[in-house]
Chain A
Amino acid sequence: MDPPPPLRFDWERHLLFLEMIVDGLPLEYETQEINRLTLAYFAISGLNLLNALDRVQSNQISNWVLSFQVHPIRETDLESGEFYGFCGSRSSQFSSSFSEVSNKNCSHLASTYCALAILKMVGYNLSNINPEAILKSMRKLQQHDGSFVPIHFRAETDLRFVYCAAAICSMLDNWTGMDKEKAKEYIVRCQSYDGGFGLVPDSESHGGATFCAVAALQLMGFIGEDISPNQEVIDMPLLVEWLLQRQSGDGGFQGRMNKPSDTCYAFWVGGVLKMLGLFEFINKDALRNFILSCQSKYGGFTKFPGMKFPDLYHSYYSFSALSLLGEPGFRSLYVELGICSDCNG
């Protein structure tokens, strides 16, 4: 019996999917509305990866993104402990006439990361956005143990926000926004006994957390592509084995040991391997087949094979993973920042 024909990446369908999303999302995305800037990042970065950024209007995008920025009014505002970055949605943004009352500023680290990534992608000059305000106020979000809260009022702290902070400093090319040593200490404490990283110290090793850890350490300059053992920073050989064993029999990557493969980990785990110069050690054909087995007839990708509907998050990370795999026609990624390589000028 002949083997099935190799699966084809359905360009037109995916482009249509992304274009429609840039315009609008259906009502089921209501519950994601707090992360609207993140959704925009997925859509725009997705189009960029598919070499189709010309399908959107750069000015429209940058004006819209800039409208989410929260500006300090007085110099003393930057000492208040509030973060002056970008909100993630209109439901966490209030017009400046209310900014006199302190608890109305809901700038968030993750939204700020997404905002800067989008602005960079559409070629906006980041020196125009008052980076000093962002960096000076961001420093206040760092905790004693080196971790970051994402927003000035109480919230969870974990590796995701250490990563966001490092990515923000990197994109603004200015590390005064964080204490890198303390951040490194926190990241190191997140390495589990099995070599992967958890979101917080002692938690189970997880693909997403591992990406945040390694990308942040690379951006901060604490590790490079040196994968030799006896490193001061992290247990590298253990990490390498953990990473490679995440590729399951079905070719996909799992996010945690003994869990099913999921398309997004093709990027989270595959991306770490790429950053460490180890991408050649995976079975690329098997991974590509797994990802394409999740290709949706509606455009986009699903989390698992056999699921009916795609979602934007898994679609974006599938596109990213296909870029890592060198799928023809895709632009290459600067993995640490999650933006196309040529945008990182």
Chain B
Amino acid sequence: MMSTSFDEGEVERIPLCLRSEWSHAQPLPQDYGPNLVVSIAYRDEFRETMEYFHAIYAANEQSYPALEFTTEAIGMNPDNFLTSNFNPRQNLLFFSLPHMSSSSDEDEVERIPLCSRPEWSDVQPLPQDDGPNPVVSIAYRDEFRETMDYFRAIYAADERSCRALELTTEAIGMNPGNYTVWHFRRLVLESLNANLHEERDFVDRITFQNSKNYQIWHHRRWLAEKLGTEAANRELEFTKQVFALDAKNYHTWSHRQWVLESLGGWENELEFCCELLEDDVFNNSAWNQRYFVITRSPLLGGLQAMRDSEVRYTSKIILADPHNESPWRYLRGLYKGEIQMLISDNKVPELCLKVLEINKSNLFALSLLLDLLSRGHQPSDELRAIIGALRSSQDIAGTHGLAATLCLVLEAVDPMRSSYWAWRRTNLPTGVC
């Protein structure tokens, strides 16, 4: 029995005619003609596989079973796709994208083609001219192609009407990434002096299915600018709803930052960060937002004023889970532009030492101590003692300075980056402890 897939285990092949998922297909026997490469007697499974392939190819069946099936077909005869008379463009091999178009929703109403709609009968659709030898042609569905052909006509004619607006809605539904459609929609909305609150309701609805789409967020920004500061609360609320589904959505965070800076609403932002960090203390987007608030909020005093309370807050979190990289970077960031303060503030090395008491191989504590020493921090007796103890526990022989010892420990506890730590050891600034 030939294995029908490239997986390791050989499974006994069930003939396609006995498989329930293929009961709908009528295999198409083919005359392979004189160009056939292999002129031997076919195994039954080979013949059957190709007959079913011909059937689904002829029907252009682009389904998941069809995809699985092409794997079998390739397994039997990979050369078939290169030397056969099948047009590779029609191949059923297909790939899923992170975001399917929204027209795959269940409760979709059956679409009437634009060419059948009386209100569009006066418009001549503009097909795309891809030239004689196009590359990466896309196998557009008819409805997609038709919608874009009509859009092209309306856009070229610069028709700013209600039906144009509706057409952009349809085009956006199929093709939400098309910035030309969005741009034209904005022109139409302006020309019609459309109700922007209704527009925002529309955008709210489609954002959830397309939350990683740049154009939708840009459109939201345009709307919010038009609506002014009264839009601030609504936008902040809306981003919260998106965060409930995806607390790290990059576009949503950028949008929220833009809303705060342009329209205001800072009052509860620090509290919001606290809530998100309570939900997930590993959420680096929330840490980034916290930094944004303490440095940019006009209601707080700025980084200098907030530093002490933020160091306390962050230290508690680090001690609760020292493996979380985010608060360590945040802590370091609290001293941005203030290296002297960083190396002379005892709170930071004391925190590192406390962490090393709980977990002596914590790479963030070790590398922060290394950073401090490299920049001229004068070690306390306690720090010397701890590093001495680490040296023994890691069986490090020979005399090394404190910073060099830390590098050797890091080589051992952070093996993924061992060559980096080895390099650090040979590149310590002169005069470092």
Contact = CB atoms under 8 A, between A and B. Distances in A.
A76 interface: no
B346 to A, nearest CB: 21
A343 to B, nearest CB: 18
A204 B253 contact: yes
Nearest to A281: B420
Interface string A224-255: 00000000000001100110110101010000
A20 B80 CA distance: 13
A202 interface: yes
A155 B71 CA distance: 42
Interface string B297-335: 000000000000000000000000000111001101100
Contacts of B238: none
A31 B176 contact: yes
A21 B137 CA distance: 8
Interface string B145-158: 00010011001101
Given A104-B156, A281-B420, A297-B5, A311 B138 contact: no
B178 A91 contact: yes
B89 A23 contact: yes
A258 interface: yes
B130 interface: yes
Contact of A30 (B140, B181, B187, B282): B140
Contacts of B208: none
B98 interface: yes
Given A257-B326, A259-B248, A281-B417, A309 B175 contact: no
Nearest to A311: B95
Interface string A154-165: 111000000000
Given A34-B178, A90-B128, A203 B95 contact: no
B99 A249 contact: no
Nearest to B95: A309
A193 B129 contact: no
A271 interface: no
Interface in A236-286: 237-238, 241-242, 244-245, 247, 249, 251, 256-259, 278, 280-283, 286
B152 A103 contact: no
Contacts of A19: 88
Nearest to B140: A30
A320 B62 CA distance: 30
B138 A33 contact: yes
A34 B94 contact: no
B367 interface: yes
Interface stretch (A58-66, A133-141, A214-222): A58-66
Interface residues of A, number: 91
B179 A193 contact: no
Contacts of B416: 247, 249, 251, 283, 286
Contacts of B131: 63-64, 67
Nearest to B329: A194
Interface of A: 12, 16-17, 19-36, 39-40, 43-44, 56-57, 60-61, 63-65, 67, 89-92, 94-95, 98, 101, 103-104, 106, 108, 151, 153-156, 192-195, 198-200, 202-206, 237-238, 241-242, 244-245, 247, 249, 251, 256-259, 278, 280-283, 286, 297-300, 303, 308-312
Interface of B: 5-7, 62, 67, 71, 78, 81-82, 88-89, 91, 93-101, 128-131, 133-141, 144, 148, 151-152, 155-156, 158, 174-181, 183, 186-187, 214, 217-218, 222, 248, 250, 253-254, 257, 282-285, 288, 291-292, 296, 324-326, 329-330, 332-333, 336, 367, 371, 415-417, 419-420, 423
Given A29-B95, A286-B416, 6 more contacts: A19-B88, A24-B139, A25-B138, A27-B62, A154-B183, A154-B222
6 closest A-B pairs by beta carbon, nearest first, are A193-B333, A24-B89, A90-B128, A26-B94, A194-B329, A281-B420
